[in-house]
Structure 1
Amino acid sequence: MRALKHCFKLLTAAALCSLTLLQPAHAEAKKEFDIAWSIYVGWMPWPYAEQAGIVKKWADKYGIKIKITQINDYVESINQYTAGKFDGVTVTNMDALTIPAAGGVDTTALLIGDYSNGNDGIVLKKGKTLAEIKGQKVNLVELSVSHYLLARGLDSVKLKEKDIKTVNTSDADIVSAYKAKDTTAVVTWNPQLSEIKAEPGAALVFDSSKIPGEIIDTLVVNTQTLKDNPALGKALAGIWYDTLKVMSSTGADGVAARAAMAKLSGASSASFEGQLKTTRMFYTSAEAAAFTKDAKLVQTMELVRSFSFDHGLLGANAPDKDFVGIAFPGGQTLGSKSNIKMRFDATYMTMAAEGKL
């Protein structure tokens, strides 16, 4: 899944704000844009779109140029976006809040691509139910969406984080860590999750399908850049939904597109198709826009911002979870209305749904 290495993420709000000094106070109208992405099943449409000429098609329509740049480390891609090196980046809802938004970069979730619907899970060697995790050491990437999933899972069985001990383990090492004799519990994401579940005696006791719609994968862009360059929003939405139309096809073109995406991600077609089954893709702009406008998103972000503040992810200077304001379609907000730095905007998804791109 997303290669979260959150030991790198623990930048203070002050440090992140210093990164924003590299950016101009205001963006401006321009013709060339750069979007960063990292490998994850729900984000593979971006490199495929570039390879298939879909990026050029829509960029040409609006008289602009769009570059799609792969960054091998997920958190590094977000940090570079925060520093102003990219106009947009593929990112989860939690990380958009805790890195650029908490760092002072006004950021808009332009496209809601999917949510994890089983891609993230908790696996035990000892025990068959989540309640049996009590007292165990749990290997995971701390302060990541895995940590969030663990917290939500523990809450479902009336346990607290003090009832277990977390062991910070990189995503690259999580499979080998699980195989170690003294490891009894892990939290991870696909494709590592699938590999671990296949081990003898492994018991999947909780996964993201139990908290549908909470681990959300998005494309965010700099809010000022989008304001000054609405053509960018239109082109990106056009690219995305053109590509998803092919990706979701049951015909030969869809099979070929998904095979190409699998190859670009370094996975087999079978593995990629398996990951898609545990990913709730929003293949149409109408359903993506509806999800973004749904009041449940506000409830989700309340959970996310509470977790983020409790774990120090809104920065050392954040006095409470209201420090960073979050805006939603229809004018609803969470947190500080004078410091809104994260915005869920259904404008361009709605335009796509209405055929207005």
Structure 2
Amino acid sequence: MVKSLHRVSTIALLGGALFLASCSSSQDPAKPRTEFNIGWSIYAGWMPWPYAQQAGIVKKWADKYGIKINVVQVNDYVESVNQYTAGKFDGVTVTNMDALTIPAAGGKDTSAIIVGDYSNGNDGVLLKAGDSLSAIRGKQVNLVELSVSHYLLARGLETAGMSLKDVKTVNTADADIVAAFSSPDAQAAVAWNPQLTAMRGLPGVKEVFNSSQIPGEILDLLVVDTATIKANPNLGKALAGIWYETIALMQRKDAEGAKARAAMAKLAGATPEAYDKQLSTTYLYVDPKAAVAATTAPTLMTNMKRVRDFSYSKGLFKGAASADAVGIGFPGNKALGDPQKVTLRFDTTFMQSAADGKL
């Protein structure tokens, strides 16, 4: 899920510095604009964005609302989120955990306007010896520390009556994890696709836990700067229109649907077969009504509390006295943490407009 070539611990320190800085400063009010930049990185559930640009769908919806939207690829996932946090992008594709621990914990008021999918097997825990997760006790585990892989491992251990104290994690960049796990000395690993698929195919390797066992906890989002979207609601309408038109197209079982998915696969550097396999473990909220229902369900607050508490326990809220220091807002004026310090908001406005046919 996380496409990081940097050490995530560095990001935690950056987030902490920004968090402290945010206590003494505030963002300048946004103004109406006509041109916007949206960052994205390669992941199965995010490939509709570059395809939509290639196919003219981005321009179609931007023209409808009299604006211009630039959909910009960043090769490194965490760098894309850092650039968004620094103000280079108006929005970015990001997981719920990273939206919380990087921009939100850094004091950047951020709104999740599209809940696109959740990992339904795209992230997994692998063992070279042992048929169940219980066999991981005492082993070294290669993973990107302080990422969703670390969170998945913690949740998996919890289901097996263990904790992170029962294993030794080895911080391994996503670019290096396939090679690292190929070493005879490697015992266990946590990874996301496409690396997960490659590692799972090694001799003697068994997947003993995956994200389908914690549905809805690892979310993939499109987030935007809150002040920007308030000042420019047409941006949200256009983005929702782009998203739902594109994913409806890729779901089609005819030649047009196959052509769209093949184009997305090419943009991701994968074969159509490999991309379709990744999509099979990605639960896309194709219907905007389903996305709204998931975002308004009590389960979202429960899951975000788990993510928040894990993040705080790992020191990702540097400078915060408690996990409540970074507030998370939900539909219906509900909040987790300090309601006066909400910097991550789940906003159903534009998904609801799509569901109502009002875009």
Q: Give the TM bin, normalised by the shorter chain.
A: over 0.9
Q: By how many angstroms is 1:14 displaced?
A: 4.5
Q: By how many angstroms is 1:190 displaced?
A: 0.7
SS at match of 2:324: coil
Matched, 1:252 2:255: yes
**Post-superposition, which runs of at least 4 consecutive aligned residues in structure 1 deviate over 4 A?**
17-24
SS at match of 2:234: helix
Cα distance, 1:173–1:23 mapped onto 2, change above 3 Å:
farther
> Residue 190 of structure 2 corresponds to which residue in structure 1?
187
Whichever residue aligns with residue 333 of structure 1, its letter is A
Unmatched 5+ residue regions in structure 2? none
> Residue 175 of structure 1 corresponds to which residue in structure 2?
178
Q: By how many angstroms is 1:19 displaced?
A: 8.4
SS at match of 1:3: coil
Whichever residue aligns with residue 206 of structure 1, its letter is F
What is the percentage of aligned positions where both structures have the same residue?
Answer: 57
What CA distance in whole angstroms lies between the structure 1 residues aligned with 2:2 and 2:47? Answer: 12
Q: By how many angstroms is 1:160 displaced?
A: 1.3
Q: By how many angstroms is 1:22 displaced?
A: 11
Between 1:15-24 and 1:151-160, the stretch displaced more is 15-24
> Residue 348 of structure 1 corresponds to which residue in structure 2?
350
What CA distance in whole angstroms lies between the structure 2 residues aligned with 1:188 and 1:61? Answer: 40
Q: How does 1:62-81 map to 2 (within 5 A)?
A: 62-81=65-84
Q: How does 1:130-145 map to 2 (within 5 A)?
A: 130-145=133-148
8 Å contact 2:15–2:103 — kept in the other structure? no
What CA distance in whole angstroms lies between the structure 2 residues aligned with 1:153 and 1:273? Answer: 26
SS at match of 2:325: coil
Paired residue for 1:49, among 29, 48, 52?
52
What CA distance in whole angstroms lies between the structure 1 residues aligned with 2:283 and 2:105? Answer: 27
What CA distance in whole angstroms lies between the structure 1 residues aligned with 2:15 and 2:69? Answer: 30
> Residue 3 of structure 2 corresponds to which residue in structure 1?
3
Q: By how many angstroms is 1:181 displaced?
A: 1.2
How many residues end up aligned between the 2 structures?
356
SS at match of 1:330: coil
Q: By how many angstroms is 1:332 displaced?
A: 1.1
Give the alignment's TM-score, normalised by structure 2.
Answer: 0.97
> Cα RMSD over matched residues?
1.5
What CA distance in whole angstroms lies between the structure 2 residues aligned with 1:23 and 1:177? Answer: 43
8 Å contact 1:46–1:240 — kept in the other structure? yes
Give per-residue Cα distances to partners, 1:295-331, cap 9 Å, x unaligned. Answer: 100000010000000001112x111110111010111
Cα distance, 1:49–1:23 mapped onto 2, change above 3 Å:
farther
Whichever residue aligns with residue 228 of structure 2, its letter is T
8 Å contact 1:22–1:84 — kept in the other structure? no
> Residue 287 of structure 1 corresponds to which residue in structure 2?
290
What CA distance in whole angstroms lies between the structure 1 residues aligned with 2:246 and 2:26? Answer: 31
Paired residue for 2:34, among 26, 31, 40?
31
What CA distance in whole angstroms lies between the structure 1 residues aligned with 2:321 and 2:21? Answer: 21
8 Å contact 1:263–1:269 — kept in the other structure? yes
